[in-house]
Structure 1
Amino acid sequence: MSLPIASGSSAASAVEQPTRSRKTLWTQAMETRIGIIPLPVYVLLLVLITAFSIKGKISGEVTVMVGVIVAGGFTCAEIGRRIPFLRAIGGSSLVTIFLPSFLVAHQLLPAPLVQSVTAFTKSTNFIYLFITAVVVGSILSMDRRVLIQGFAKIFIPLGLGSLAGITVGGCVGWLVGIGFWRSILYVVVPVMAGGVGEGAIPLSVGYAEALGADQGRMLGQILPLVFFGNLVAIVVCGALNTLGRRRPDLTGNGQLQPGPGEVGDPEKHDAAHSNTTSIDVATVAAGGITGVAIYILGTLIHSLIGLPAPVAMLFLIVAVKILNGVPAPLAEGTRVVFRFFVIAVTYPLLFCTAVALTPWHELVEAFHPANLVTIVATVIALVATGYYVGRLLKMYPIETAIVNACHSGLGGTGDVMILTAAERMELMPFAQVATRIGGALTVTAAIVAMAHFKVL
């Protein structure tokens, strides 16, 4: 009895099938991503980082640090995205901000890794590169008329929101036993001061001089409230993002108000937020270096007149846009740089900020019931006022509410955190107005009031 002999084509088919199957599995693995990282690359990064951490030899060079913070940032974001309730209030950003801080405080991350990330974060200070890319790209990709109207209008909900936050915070603080003026000066104002470097520190110096007190003790009293106010704003804006998904009529998905001819035409609006482009690489690079040059000019203005460099940059780029100083292809190049930073850099930036600059104990110290209630009431008053006033002004209410929330943010870092939770990084120019200009006015008024009333 003879056995059947496989034909050449059948034999080849039998050999190719496992190969094709392996290729399919590998392709599927490479197409599965943790954030932006293909799964096999992600696993390789984790193995390498673990190995170098065990050896205690994590290099601080930029290439290695990029691998570490990208893996750390997108791991935290993926965890937050998969927690059912948390993801509805900005879980990805919340976990990326606070989990690394908790792990550092309890010594659950390898010390060499923490030291390398901290040194890299503080030496590069690359949050300003991030803010530059976002502010320049978002402004130059806006419709010129929308930009002018937006900046003209945003001060109305912001100013009214500040008054509402101060009034509501003072009243709630009085009801819970802190006292009306003490609530305003020691709880509400720190939350609305604009962060640490340009808010809490000058505020503590001014208070200490007015009262003849120790500046270090005053700063220690103020800092926890600043961190907790930022946390409340993150949670509220995460909830606003969820509301925007359910009620698309209330949101411009990152645009402050409808542009000319844009109502009922979502395709025109979506073009500004697209992740695809036909622009050439050289023009994208030109857009990036244009933003860097404008920021450096902002630092020069800061050295001459003391205006913070990000604010100077903001004014400069708005002037350039209003005067049509950048041709359309170059503006598109800055938009591509902006989208790259939003997609690829946001979570790594939050991760390294959490490791290096977000002390866990500062947040925990703010958990006094009276403080908590007062801070929550202040932030909600800010946000609610922005929502309703924005609606009256025919702006998108969710966007104006988010900008107002940034008034209770932790400076530039806080703006990144809040806008990440809201998934509206396009609002960064307006957030900078709320945080830096609003914060500076708040701090100045509070120091004058403290010198006059001397509230202990």
Structure 2
Amino acid sequence: MSTTDDSFSITSESLSIQKPSLKDRWWHIMDTWKVGIIPLPLFVLAGVLIAVDCLGGKLPSDIVVMVATLAFFGFACGEFGKRLPIIGKLGAAAICATFIPSAMVYYGLLPDVVVESTTKFYKSTNILYLYICCIIVGSIMSMNRTTLIQGFLRIFFPMLCGEIAGMLVGMGVGMLLGLEPFQIFFFIILPIMAGGVGEGAIPLSIGYATILHMDQGVALGRVLPMVMLGGLTAIIISGCLNQLGKRFPHLTGEGQLMPNRANTDEQAPAAPAYSGKADVTTIASGALLAVLLYMLGMLGHKLIGLPAPVGMLFMAVLVKLVHGVSPKILEGSQVVYKFFQTSVTYPILFAVGVAITPWQELVHAFTLTNLLVIVSTVTTLVATGFFVGKKIGMHPIDVAIVSCCQSGQGGTGDVAILTAGNRMSLMPFAQIATRIGGAINVSVSLLVLGNFLV
């Protein structure tokens, strides 16, 4: 009789243990059901609050409301892209986070108050540059010093080879399709490699307006779609390269350009490992370091005209090489980098899609001839970077992803490309490819156009 009672009590206890309480079920939902990084209940609450503001006719553009708004829409678009069959693994999340908002604005599917507030917030705060400076400084501070030097010295050769090969193949394909060589180079290929919109398309349009005696708006209208299509192609290729790296791990360093050789590790101390235990003051110091280095970059821009992100990049490298900050602050910078990479990428891409990505320009440029020239140019550029990088002892997939950034939409394109390729730690090299490479291409090409061809 006692045995039966004991077994019954044990069974009752096991049932009571197995049955979770209402609190446990709620916590389980909060911890496991997420849209991007946002717990589902908070995501729903954010959507309700944004809808209430929109129905009231006014959505504040201050940072408090915009954090919730950009997070809600950005992670929703990114999650949608991730869940798409097949292409979800090829960078569709970054594409959807950028181009779905652009299409929604064009077709009137996004409330006007959201568009107005997002555009105002994006353009008035320059939040993209805060994002880029934290990503650049954090990734540089987490690199091995010797590897950092070798990477910067070697990356220029694959980039140069890729540009030359891409231009030659693009010209050949365009001429086979019956296009004029002048149009192919100056209005298709050069915009792709010009370094984005602000540093590439706009200076090109100003130069074309002056040299070719045409309206700047007309010139920009012809150049901008090529920049966008080149960036879109690069995002897709970067996503494919990420999948290639998962299938052939020996071809990638997962965000490292140079292999970690034993003698390299003996000659120079590695960056401090990320422990996840940095205190609040250390993290704040890491964030302040990134901001101050960007301010130095802005000062350099005023003095010598060097783009602020590039000046900041060089200053960050210098600080790293001379041991300018302690290992503790280095770890703080790394925590800041991981925070922005995880939490801010998709909201930033949504803001970019709403504020500065004209959907109609992209659609108008979707002609077969343009697509063939652009795809052949970008593919050749990236493939050349892959094989040249492999030949000179670098990780070919990571070099190829940096090469993708040579045809991106500036800083925003770098974010989308590196997100699709899951290689955000390559941001410093991407900035070199975009800013410096684009500036050289634009300057040399306008010089040749003005002095020899017109």
Interval of TM-score (by shorter of Structure 1 and Structure 2): over 0.9
Separation in 2 of the partners of 1:86 and 1:201? 32
Listed one character per residue, the Cα deviations across residues 204-240 of structure 1 (whole Å, up to 9, x for unaligned) are: 1112222222222111111111111000000000110
TM-aligned CA distance change 1:254 to 1:14, over 3 Å: closer
Structure 1 residue 179 displacement after superposition: 2.5
Residue 428 of structure 1 aligns with which residue?
Answer: 427
Query: SS at 2:59's partner residue?
Result: coil
Give the aligned residue type for 1:313: M
Scaled by the length of structure 1, what TM-score is found? 0.92
Q: Does 1:175 align with 2:192?
A: no
Structure 1 residue 43 displacement after superposition: 1.1
Are the aligned partners of 2:162 and 2:403 in contact in 1 as well (CA < 8 Å)? yes
Query: SS at 1:108's partner residue?
Result: coil
Separation in 1 of the partners of 2:324 and 2:21? 55
Are the aligned partners of 1:204 and 1:222 in contact in 2 as well (CA < 8 Å)? yes
Pick which of 13-22 and 395-404 moved more. Answer: 13-22
Listed one character per residue, the Cα deviations across residues 252-297 of structure 1 (whole Å, up to 9, x for unaligned) are: 1111111233999xxx99986x6x5122221111111011111101
Query: SS at 1:84's partner residue?
Result: coil
TM-aligned CA distance change 1:269 to 1:395, over 3 Å: farther
Q: Give matches, 1:256-405, under 5 Å.
A: 256-261=257-262, 276-405=275-404
Give the aligned residue type for 1:257: M
| Identity between Structure 1 and Structure 2 (%) | 49
Residue 118 of structure 1 aligns with which residue?
Answer: 119
Q: Does 1:51 align with 2:52?
A: yes
Instruction: Please list every run of 5 or more consecutive structure 1 residues that lacks an aligned counterpart in the other structure.
Output: 1-8
Q: Give matches, 1:34-183, under 5 Å.
A: 34-183=35-184
Separation in 2 of the partners of 1:379 and 1:445? 20
Give the aligned residue type for 2:420: A
Separation in 1 of the partners of 2:394 and 2:187? 33
Give the aligned residue type for 1:286: S
Structure 1 residue 378 displacement after superposition: 0.6
Separation in 2 of the partners of 1:93 and 1:269? 32
Listed one character per residue, the Cα deviations across residues 310-369 of structure 1 (whole Å, up to 9, x for unaligned) are: 011011111111112122111111011001000000001001111111110111121121
Separation in 1 of the partners of 2:241 and 2:28? 35
Pick which of 54-63 and 339-348 moved more. Answer: 54-63
Give the aligned residue type for 1:52: D
Separation in 1 of the partners of 2:169 and 2:50? 48
Separation in 2 of the partners of 1:262 and 1:422? 29
Give the aligned residue type for 1:28: H
Q: How many residue pairs were aligned? A: 441
Listed one character per residue, the Cα deviations across residues 51-101 of structure 1 (whole Å, up to 9, x for unaligned) are: 221221212221111001001111111111111122121011111111111
Residue 23 of structure 2 aligns with which residue?
Answer: 23
Separation in 2 of the partners of 1:385 and 1:19? 59
Give the aligned residue type for 1:343: T
Separation in 1 of the partners of 2:411 and 2:138? 16
Scaled by the length of structure 2, what TM-score is found? 0.93
Listed one character per residue, the Cα deviations across residues 402-441 of structure 1 (whole Å, up to 9, x for unaligned) are: 1111000111111111111111110000000000000001
Listed one character per residue, the Cα deviations across residues 357-404 of structure 1 (whole Å, up to 9, x for unaligned) are: 111011112112111100001100110001000101111100000111
Give the aligned residue type for 2:283: V
Are the aligned partners of 2:272 and 2:330 in contact in 1 as well (CA < 8 Å)? no
Residue 5 of structure 2 aligns with which residue?
Answer: none
TM-aligned CA distance change 1:228 to 1:59, over 3 Å: same
Separation in 2 of the partners of 1:216 and 1:408? 22
Give the aligned residue type for 1:24: D
Separation in 2 of the partners of 1:209 and 1:438? 23
TM-aligned CA distance change 1:317 to 1:14, over 3 Å: closer
Separation in 1 of the partners of 2:96 and 2:42? 22
Structure 1 residue 180 displacement after superposition: 2.8
Instruction: Please list every run of 5 or more consecutive structure 2 residues that lacks an aligned counterpart in the other structure.
Output: 1-8
Pick which of 138-147 and 20-29 moved more. Answer: 20-29
Give the aligned residue type for 2:29: A
Q: Does 1:451 align with 2:450?
A: yes
Give the aligned residue type for 1:448: L
Are the aligned partners of 1:158 and 1:386 in contact in 2 as well (CA < 8 Å)? yes
TM-aligned CA distance change 1:14 to 1:161, over 3 Å: closer
TM-aligned CA distance change 1:277 to 1:169, over 3 Å: same
Residue 192 of structure 2 aligns with which residue?
Answer: 191
Listed one character per residue, the Cα deviations across residues 144-170 of structure 1 (whole Å, up to 9, x for unaligned) are: 000000000000000101101111111
